[in-house]
Amino acid sequence: MRFLVLHGPNLNLLGTREPDVYGRATLADIDGGLAGLAGELGVSIESFQSNHEGALIDRIHAAAREGIAGILINPGAYTHTSIALRDALAAVAIPAVEVHLSNIHARESFRRRSHIAPVVVAQIAGFGAAGYGLALRGLVARLKG
């Protein structure tokens, strides 16, 4: 089973970007940890980061053609703005989990609304980098169970 991990805008700056909010783990740390966990779970992952909405949408479309079993997505600020990203996830109907490092419900009011949440299996927010591992475990368990 192959999983796609999608990282949205500004997440390439993790490690130095507002560390009090997002922690000190870099994107490479997160992807490396997930690859190790994927090995334990007997699945494989591929990661993709983009600061461009259309590139993320194109990657989701390609995932459908490639037979990707599940998607983990941290859409960054596109969470709160992108109906196009939501529509792409709905269109391919690949089970997805929305991940946020911070608890978006405990921050500014504009972060409380997610356009993505209604089209995903689950949302994990506030566990920092650990949230990605929880999301992968949850999605694998759901698809295998």
Give catalytic residue positions.
Answer: 22, 100
Q: Interface with ligand DQA includes 105 (CB under 6 A)?
A: no
x/- map, 17-56, ligand DQA, by CB under 6 A: ----------------------------------------
What lies within 8 Å, CB to CB, of 95 at 6+ separation is 69, 70, 71, 120, 121, 139, 142, 143
Query: Do the beta carbons of residue 96 and residue 121 sit within 8 Å?
Result: yes
By CB under 6 A, is residue 96 in contact with ligand DQA?
Answer: no
In this complex, which beta carbon is closest to ligand DQA, that of residue 82 or of residue 139? 82
- The amino acid at residue 124 is I
Q: Which pair of tokens denotes residue 2?
A: 């192959």
77 is a site residue for ligand DQA (CB under 6 A): yes
